[in-house]
Amino acid sequence: MRERLQKLLSKAGIASRREAELLIQQGRVTVNGKRAVLGDRADLNVDDVRVDGERLKISAPRLYIMLNKPMGVVTAVTPQHQETRQTVRDLIPLEGHLYPAGRLDADSEGLVLMTNDGDLAERLTHPRYQKAKVYEVTVLGRIPDEALEIWSRGVMLDDGMTLPVQIKVLSRDSHTSKLQITMTEGRKRQIRRVANTLGYPVQRLVRTHFATLSLGDLRPGEWRHLTESEVAALKALAYSLQMKPRRFVLRPARQNSPKRRAESPARPSVQGAPRRKSAERSAEQTEQRKARPAKPNSSRRREETRRPPAERPSEGAERPKTRSPKPKLRRPPQRGKPSGAKRPPRRP
């Protein structure tokens, strides 16, 4: 079965689907000796797919590793151009392909999932799936409740409005404030940018939870394999839940039908007395309209007041047919001739 190259690379543990697209664009992937492009498909049983000259295989065992990234370490597999800092891949002395699921700033620290399961990494990190991440953030200054309320509702940044977050105050004094922030979004340096916008820069940022994983007692720079139960819980969360909308929140429909309004509980009025239901009010108004005397026709009433009593027609008599006089039409003068000129006599 022919599949997209991005999916084949993620299954083989080479890279995630996003990173696989970069490998294809850089020309590092070939299919049957030809340079691959985005959109190509292949079958490993028939085609020869190679990455950097090495043939692709899907027999590598799955690895799931939790790492406590220290501050100053770059969340990448290989360092970028002119990059001298250490990467998270350098901290794990294991053979084979391993790459981080998601990203964490070099100035931040905390939990990073390292794996060669590209499909699971896609499910956990893509924005449309909105998997929760928990951070412990220490900001400078005593942040007020008003600023926390603005932060929790969303802050406008240069790349758009942020999604709502959950904020819990762990401690707060005159110099610093320690917060626990739960969010489903993962823009670049999002927490630091929001804190700077509100006027309270971040002093320290630690990721403590990612999806179903918890950092626990793992020290900075240490790593361990996930247990079978942790992997099972992680896959259950990744594959059982459906996609959620990114920017829109579904709200229940309004109760507009009379039957639903009649069944809904009555709300108390301002004075404290219970308000009548709308169905009762509408029934009472209908009875009041039926009890009112019928009004005569307004046009007939105006006509009768205009005529004297002697000229009023009886009920069964036919009304006389009268014609309104035709208005006299004035013929416009002919062009090129004076208005008083006589017409020439007709020829016999």
Whether the predicted pLDDT of 271 surpasses 50: no
| Main-chain phi, psi angles of 262, to 5 degrees | -70, -35
105 in active site: yes
CA distance 205 to 267: 47
CA distance 168 to 178: 9
- pLDDT one-digit tens code per residue, 155-205: 999 888 999 999 999 999 989 999 999 999 888 899 999 999 999 999 999
Q: Start-end ranges of CATH 3.30.70.1560 in the chain?
A: 132-210
CA distance 85 to 87: 7
The CATH classification number of 61-129+218-246 equals 3.30.70.580
- pLDDT one-digit tens code per residue, 99-143: 898 889 999 999 999 998 888 888 888 878 888 999 999 999 999
Whether the predicted pLDDT of 26 surpasses 60: yes
CA distance 291 to 313: 31
Q: Residue 225, SS3?
A: strand
- pLDDT one-digit tens code per residue, 296-346: 555 555 555 555 555 555 555 565 555 666 666 666 666 655 555 566 666
- pTM, two decimals, is 0.58
CATH homologous superfamily, domain 1-59 = RNA-binding S4 domain (3.10.290.10)
Whether the predicted pLDDT of 79 surpasses 70: yes
What are 248's two structure tokens?
């829109």
DSSP state letters, 304-337? HHHS-GGG---SSSPPPP--PPPPPPPPPPPTTS
Q: Start-end ranges of CATH 3.30.70.580 in the chain?
A: 61-129+218-246
Question: What residue type is 240 in one-letter code?
Answer: S
Query: What pLDDT score does 187 carry?
Result: 87
Q: 20-29, 99-108, 250-259 — which is least confidently predicted?
A: 250-259
The CATH classification number of 132-210 equals 3.30.70.1560
Q: Start-end ranges of CATH 3.10.290.10 in the chain?
A: 1-59
Catalytic residue among 40, 105, 107, 217: 105
